[in-house]
Structure 1
């Protein structure tokens, strides 16, 4: 995996090292190799922390976790095979590292605004491009294009391309590369044979690479089409090349969020990554000149936009009309207080925004209304049926000890085949109450549900809920905005299958259309979406069942 899409054909193929291993004797080289191995261990630790955190961008993507761990462990294995003894002649020209690239990728994934990661360091399959496309020959031949991260930022799907290269070795085009090679040859008196070998090496130029990505993005299916491409240069970018990106492709540093600089020297000095540090710590280095640029995709390029499917049960325009009419009647906190003021349910609801939603938008422009910062202003969070049940369930509201006090035979008669499922939820609730867990998730958020969820929830509560659960359900519905079923076009472009059920596509797609994350325990559907390559912002919660309480 080389920067800008060169795929790793073998385990020995690596990105050119950002850390300079030139000069010095073999002892110094051995120390540098040990430092690189320590960096690998640090990256592996960070990946494991990301995969274990329920709030991280990788919490629901086991495939991405495996990919990152495999790459980091492969790099560590590669470094461990290198000879470092002084009497062995190590050819530095054959040395290369990929750890800088992995560090940058993991650093991006650690940021709280990076959500819905569906692919990491994997190629994206592409449909055949029309012959008129400037990159059709190359892309059609490969049928895939490498993207470092596919995820969501502020509810919008994006592609990340990450480079940890020395900015002096990032070339704009072939002419730029030849001129630089000749200049280096004259200045350093490089051997002619070495220069020829260097020219034979497969090289990707930034301008060509960006053009290929823009063509691929514009012609991707709606489910994987990004709104923008984020270019992440962890070691900076030459001002001349940056100017060309801004002039030719409209690249901008105005992203609406900030990436902090990252530096590993302090962690290495402290012996991070496991084991005691027995080599001299690396010298302190200034933070790299991080450069992050965004290129927005012109959706008018290439083929026409796919039409938004017609949804029989409603549309986004109906949702806006409904919200406009109901804004003045939106309940206050006093309206939503349950009977027992001291319950965790009331405490949880009180953390949410319950005032009127400002919906001063043109309903005639409903297709793009959610993109006009409506959901960002409202801090919306979309509930599916599993989330609503979890909030009102007797298990979540103090009935755990009452359930455990009953005999096993009575519970089996009551819950039938769901007995083990309910008992597992009771034990989970005792160890970690779900209302406390969701308190931070819902704080300052405005809850929304689509009409399909509202209908299904009312039906389930009427059939299976007890008096207290029904009371909490009534109060909860008063605190939520009900919008019409209005799934996004990219969600509905996915085929309806057993794993991608139509009703789930409507529920999650409505949240996607409103740029709102969906709170859910339906991780089977989330995994099925991730397997399609589509990035979708979801928040996982533990399941709860109605108990008749």
Structure 2
């Protein structure tokens, strides 16, 4: 490998590392996954850097192309709930390597990435004893069928540099694979630019990688079921609902929510989300709480003073309704019966007059659905962090193909650690204040 090629590969590594550090929040990628990607890219960078000073560099195959391809997929708008990258999944039949475990179009998927030259993609074992594509796919599909909790709805194969038509035909005939389009989502995502920032702020584009020759195929394992029958919204508190004020931030947020049910427009709210929406902290009391004398705070909030002040300070810095407004706008909000029951109890015990009024307004904008969690979520072991009531709530959202809006990050992390991809959107926690 020439020194010029090594230098270019080094800059590609540096660019990928910067991209990994700034992956969009929409991926909901776990900290562990991000660390894995950074470790792989940094390891490749260290290896290439050691070659740069070698007076007699040897021909070698670099891995940066594979990492680039994985990161390119991660930047696509429809990729969410990333729970595992470039690691084997621990399954009953043994570990199986999957490049991405994530949610795509609200369905759990496994993605296998190949950056090989199409001429070197063999269907059967090669003369050196290397396993062919058929053998690997058989292993992956057997692993997928061996688990209930981690089973994907489909396995997607992404060939970054293309695929011979003869192999493509065998994929279709042997596994029922169908063409899948990643690139149609966003034409602006077709290029992976590797940039090197120079002195004075100038940017030197080292290499622009196009994925226009890439080929993706999907092998479906689970057909998406139709949405379950749902209950019409019920009036939770028997009272005349006050008209929403156009000048009120809370009213603006819930007014932006869709009232009609359409496919792919649902968002599931857990109890923490409902409480945060109606909380006095979220709705104008934060500065007053921070400015209250210590004696008044202790008398009002008892042993929760530090907790409440921390939330009020967080609200002043990053208002919750700003993020929730962006998440909920144009969506049909749903709550399952168990969440509704828990929220009503909390409101009756701890909410003040204004919080109760907001609770009435909020619940009359939501659709109540039966507790109906998916089998895969219920198949997770019940532990302190994976409590049964939380599996019911998040599993019901999963049944509806809806992301769950939540501040319960302990549950979200525990699910990700199991290897399962679950569509969630986090928000900062807020408490009822008696406002």
| TM-aligned CA deviation for residue 482 of structure 1 | 0.6
**Equivalent in the alignment of 1:134:** none
| TM-aligned CA deviation for residue 209 of structure 1 | 0.9
**Contact 2:279 2:355 (C-alpha < 8 Å) held by counterparts:** yes
Note if 1:405 corresponds to 2:314.
no
Note if 1:70 corresponds to 2:39.
yes
**Contact 1:119 1:533 (C-alpha < 8 Å) held by counterparts:** yes
Q: Distance in 1 between matches of 2:382 and 2:28?
A: 26
- Quick check: 404-413 or 505-514, which moved more? 404-413
**Equivalent in the alignment of 2:144:** 217
Q: Distance in 1 between matches of 2:241 and 2:119?
A: 61
The 5-angstrom pairing of residues 257-272 of structure 1 reads: 258=184, 260=187, 262-264=190-192, 266-268=193-195, 271-272=196-197
**Equivalent in the alignment of 2:72:** 107
| TM-aligned CA deviation for residue 338 of structure 1 | 4.4
**Contact 1:255 1:294 (C-alpha < 8 Å) held by counterparts:** no
CA distance 1:320–1:282, shift in 2 (3 Å): closer
**Equivalent in the alignment of 2:308:** 422
| TM-aligned CA deviation for residue 258 of structure 1 | 3.0
**Contact 2:26 2:79 (C-alpha < 8 Å) held by counterparts:** no
**Contact 2:157 2:216 (C-alpha < 8 Å) held by counterparts:** yes
**Equivalent in the alignment of 1:459:** 345
Q: Secondary structure of 1:82's partner?
A: helix
Select the structure of larger CA radius of gyration: 1
CA distance 1:277–1:434, shift in 2 (3 Å): closer
Q: Which 5+ residue runs of structure 1 have no aligned equivalent? A: 1-20, 22-28, 129-142, 179-198, 300-315, 359-374
**Equivalent in the alignment of 2:48:** 79
**Contact 2:113 2:157 (C-alpha < 8 Å) held by counterparts:** yes
| TM-aligned CA deviation for residue 480 of structure 1 | 0.4
Q: 2:87 aligns with which of 115, 122, 125?
A: 122
**Equivalent in the alignment of 1:91:** 58
**Equivalent in the alignment of 2:363:** 477
Q: Distance in 1 between matches of 2:289 and 2:207?
A: 61
**Equivalent in the alignment of 1:171:** 122
Q: 1:530 aligns with which of 407, 413, 416?
A: 416
**Equivalent in the alignment of 2:16:** 43
Q: Distance in 2 between matches of 1:279 and 1:476?
A: 49
Q: Secondary structure of 1:352's partner?
A: coil
**Equivalent in the alignment of 1:490:** 376
**Equivalent in the alignment of 2:165:** 239
Q: 1:158 aligns with which of 104, 109, 112?
A: 109
Aligned residues: CA RMSD: 2.7
| TM-aligned CA deviation for residue 351 of structure 1 | 1.1
**Contact 2:27 2:81 (C-alpha < 8 Å) held by counterparts:** no
Note if 1:206 corresponds to 2:177.
no
The C-alpha deviation readout for 1:32-76, integer Å capped at 9, x for no partner, is 1111111111111111112xx543331xx1110111111111111
CA distance 1:338–1:435, shift in 2 (3 Å): farther
Q: Secondary structure of 1:148's partner?
A: strand
Note if 1:394 corresponds to 2:286.
no
Q: Secondary structure of 1:398's partner?
A: helix
**Contact 1:336 1:479 (C-alpha < 8 Å) held by counterparts:** no
Q: Secondary structure of 1:386's partner?
A: helix
Q: Secondary structure of 1:111's partner?
A: coil
Q: Distance in 2 between matches of 1:500 and 1:114?
A: 24
| TM-aligned CA deviation for residue 254 of structure 1 | 4.1
**Equivalent in the alignment of 1:248:** 174
Q: TM-score, normalization: structure 1?
A: 0.73
CA distance 1:401–1:262, shift in 2 (3 Å): same
Q: 1:442 aligns with which of 299, 316, 328?
A: 328
CA distance 1:44–1:395, shift in 2 (3 Å): same
| TM-aligned CA deviation for residue 337 of structure 1 | 6.1
Q: TM-score, normalization: structure 2?
A: 0.91
